[in-house]
Structure 1
């Protein structure tokens, strides 16, 4: 007998299947919502602990967002200079539409510079690793992957043969790639000298608050390193923009504003490189046949050795030198001839001066060695004349003092600074180092944010 289908059961099946699917879907959605809420809560809790239990803080890309809308982020900048390598670890808070605020900086330096390892790059690793450990100790664990890590090398590596410099940079990049921080393809590079000046300009003007509002009066920046010297300022006179040589003007985009800066780096006119040129030596080469380098800028009775860029030179003063300062000034003028562009506007711009400007001024007592101070450009010439005149009777701990002061005095005059021009000399503003590193990490992070905006 043929079995007749039960139409009632068939109808129930047609209804039951959709109902079952709906119930399953409802349960699944409820689970997902519960899981997302739990994960988000856990994420917030971890980030709060990492950032010091800031309520409602959320790590988001390179930024942590507080409940008040302020974002917390970090940046690590390695400054690979000619005489040492330094790490700067910066912590910032930022509210959209405003200029970031620097809330903390950690700084540590090691000697010698990276260039000292040009012939054995493996020896550079322990020092780099030691400085990376400083960053790890300073930055909360949950921010590591979102914190940009960058190394910028300056004149020390710019003066090395290309292959040696690249080998050093490649080794550093390998160490960086193995770290837990945010490392891009451009994380390690030799810094363009002009970028060094621009970054220092950003640092100073950020710290004095002139970048917070459009149209604020800015200050200029003078930096005298070992291998190069930089001058950077924001021109207000049309004549400066019209008469500046090619390569001296550059556009800077930062904090949603664009600045047209006068900025130039003179490679080979840093204090140590200038010493070598004044002595008659050639960068990167020992003296021919080991001969003694004789200079009118040294005491006539002086004989000794001087090491520069891993090369030792025999040096001595010029015999029967009568007016040491006059002879030295003549020699320095030869070195500077046609090397420096002069611009009239510098006399009307407030300038800060750093590095060896600061050190020499402190050495002769013009400024406090810790607090800094101000002087006029002519003070360097006064000090140079005095030291050069008394160097025989009052030997200096630094035999180059007459040479260095004479060089700085004439360099500033060649830039166009009058004798009565006031310069401010400082190492810190509001307890923050006035190095280019802060400006450089700002510029780097700002460019990352712009790339992110373009991508989205």
Structure 2
């Protein structure tokens, strides 16, 4: 049987759009009775409501349709999640924003199928864009958001204020941390000192977030932007958190090749020792196309590749004073995907890996990439970058164990569940 997950009353307020700073429990009961659907059921009947969250990332757009249950005798329960995704991301339409609407409409059809028709007007639909749009100019990003807003406004769903916006990187890390720790049961009063850290590797950016155990970790940050404080579930948390724009896996490929932010793309070929010598291909990211190739005139393999990716990491990624072994980190997104591609973990179950496992597999992939053309030509570069990011970037020990996961209790590991709270200002992040 799939485990159910108890949510605080705050979540119920959030997804119904009723959360206000001075709401009383009397108001809460009255509001819930007027908003939630009524069913012809016995006295102990349950009421079902829904929330729709779009994650507009750099490499794709995903929809999460959450089903919640409110029982007369229990706190709300997260009953189900419907998840669908499509590629490319919104940023691929930076020069033709109207073309982005087709994908949004397709995903809205998923919401229509998942949410009963009678509940459409009561179900909030929200989109948060991440690194893909943060890397665009303000004008191009806003043009895309305007198109999405137009599609939302035409939909039969509840469209709250600020329903289509770009989320900053700090909130992305914090909300992912909240989602994973809620799903793992670490946010209860008894457990919140034993939280897990999160490592999220997207296409355009990467985040690290954890609850420090030592004051020196807080005191030794280069700037205060690395620390965030907020109250949730009757607890106050002070997190170490940072989002590195340009250090997501796809952006890191371009940075390694010297192509990130480059001009005159039509006349340039970007080479790398991380690619097979005979490799030559056009590759697109963020609406731009790059001519890439291996480097026949230089050595290939793990060592020269590592030196290339090290330039992308060194001096950019801050190493926290502590990365306690007792503070387990959950790693997801491209950490998980590439570990699956390399055969390190099962694509459904995930698994536990040591940091050194990425390095060992990177060496193996890089040494055989020319002999195995069926393997992704980027796998050597990607695995080497992940190894470098973890060890020389964040400063994890090679023996540090990471939990590689795609879902937690059958719910997608991402920031989206936490964003349900954030959208309705239930969190005060400082």
TM-score for both structures, normalised by structure 1: 0.79
Are residue 442 (structure 1) and residue 418 (structure 2) matched?
Answer: no
Range that drifts further, 226-235 or 397-406 = 397-406
Q: Residue 47 of structure 1 aligns with which residue?
A: 37
Q: Residue 194 of structure 1 aligns with which residue?
A: 170
Which residue of 195, 201, 209 corresponds with 1:218? 195
Which residue of 258, 280, 299 corresponds with 1:280? 258
Q: Residue 110 of structure 1 aligns with which residue?
A: 86
- Is the 8 Å Cα contact of residues 98 and 212 (structure 1) preserved in structure 2? no
Looking at structure 1, the residues matched to 357 and 281 of structure 2 have their Cα atoms a distance apart, in angstroms, of 29
Looking at structure 1, the residues matched to 72 and 305 of structure 2 have their Cα atoms a distance apart, in angstroms, of 55
Looking at structure 2, the residues matched to 262 and 99 of structure 1 have their Cα atoms a distance apart, in angstroms, of 30
Q: Residue 184 of structure 1 aligns with which residue?
A: 160
Aligned ranges for residues 95-106 of structure 1 at < 5 Å? Answer: 100-106=76-82
Looking at structure 2, the residues matched to 441 and 116 of structure 1 have their Cα atoms a distance apart, in angstroms, of 26
Deviations 1:339-389 (A, max 9, x none): 001014223310010111111111121101121111100011111112222
SS at structure 2 position matched to 1:47: coil
Looking at structure 1, the residues matched to 310 and 95 of structure 2 have their Cα atoms a distance apart, in angstroms, of 35
Structure 1 residues 128 and 395: alpha-carbon distance in aligned structure 2, compared to 1, 3 A threshold: closer
Structure 1 residues 257 and 374: alpha-carbon distance in aligned structure 2, compared to 1, 3 A threshold: same
Structure 1 residues 409 and 97: alpha-carbon distance in aligned structure 2, compared to 1, 3 A threshold: farther
SS at structure 1 position matched to 2:37: helix
Q: Residue 95 of structure 2 aligns with which residue?
A: 119
Are residue 156 (structure 1) and residue 132 (structure 2) matched?
Answer: yes
Q: Residue 304 of structure 1 aligns with which residue?
A: 281
Q: Residue 347 of structure 1 aligns with which residue?
A: 324
Looking at structure 2, the residues matched to 386 and 409 of structure 1 have their Cα atoms a distance apart, in angstroms, of 13
Q: Residue 417 of structure 1 aligns with which residue?
A: 396
Q: Which has the larger share of helix? A: 1
Looking at structure 1, the residues matched to 291 and 65 of structure 2 have their Cα atoms a distance apart, in angstroms, of 40
Q: Residue 138 of structure 1 aligns with which residue?
A: 114
Are residue 327 (structure 1) and residue 304 (structure 2) matched?
Answer: yes
Aligned ranges for residues 9-408 of structure 1 at < 5 Å? Answer: 47-49=37-39, 53-55=40-42, 67=44, 72-93=48-69, 100-216=76-192, 217-246=194-223, 247-283=225-261, 285-287=263-265, 290-322=267-299, 324-348=301-325, 349-408=327-386
Deviations 1:309-344 (A, max 9, x none): 232222222234346221111111122121001014
- Is the 8 Å Cα contact of residues 37 and 48 (structure 2) preserved in structure 1? no
Q: Residue 428 of structure 1 aligns with which residue?
A: 407
Looking at structure 2, the residues matched to 313 and 111 of structure 1 have their Cα atoms a distance apart, in angstroms, of 18
- Is the 8 Å Cα contact of residues 130 and 168 (structure 2) preserved in structure 1? yes
Looking at structure 1, the residues matched to 185 and 134 of structure 2 have their Cα atoms a distance apart, in angstroms, of 32
* C-alpha displacement of 1:255: 2.7
Which has more radius of gyration? 1
Looking at structure 1, the residues matched to 180 and 401 of structure 2 have their Cα atoms a distance apart, in angstroms, of 17
- Is the 8 Å Cα contact of residues 254 and 443 (structure 1) preserved in structure 2? no
Structure 1 residues 164 and 276: alpha-carbon distance in aligned structure 2, compared to 1, 3 A threshold: same
Looking at structure 2, the residues matched to 435 and 232 of structure 1 have their Cα atoms a distance apart, in angstroms, of 13
Deviations 1:3-34 (A, max 9, x none): xxxxxxxxxxxxxxxxxxxxxxxxxxxxxxxx
Q: Residue 61 of structure 1 aligns with which residue?
A: none
Deviations 1:370-428 (A, max 9, x none): 21111100011111112222223333521112111111101001201100000111111
* C-alpha displacement of 1:219: 0.3
Looking at structure 1, the residues matched to 116 and 425 of structure 2 have their Cα atoms a distance apart, in angstroms, of 22
Which one has more relative contact order, counting CA pairs under 8 Å at least 6 apart?
Answer: 2
Q: Residue 13 of structure 2 aligns with which residue?
A: none
Structure 1 residues 254 and 54: alpha-carbon distance in aligned structure 2, compared to 1, 3 A threshold: farther
Looking at structure 2, the residues matched to 424 and 174 of structure 1 have their Cα atoms a distance apart, in angstroms, of 40
Q: Identify unmatched segments of 5+ residues in structure 2.
A: 1-29
* C-alpha displacement of 1:445: 4.4
* C-alpha displacement of 1:71: 6.5
Looking at structure 2, the residues matched to 111 and 327 of structure 1 have their Cα atoms a distance apart, in angstroms, of 32
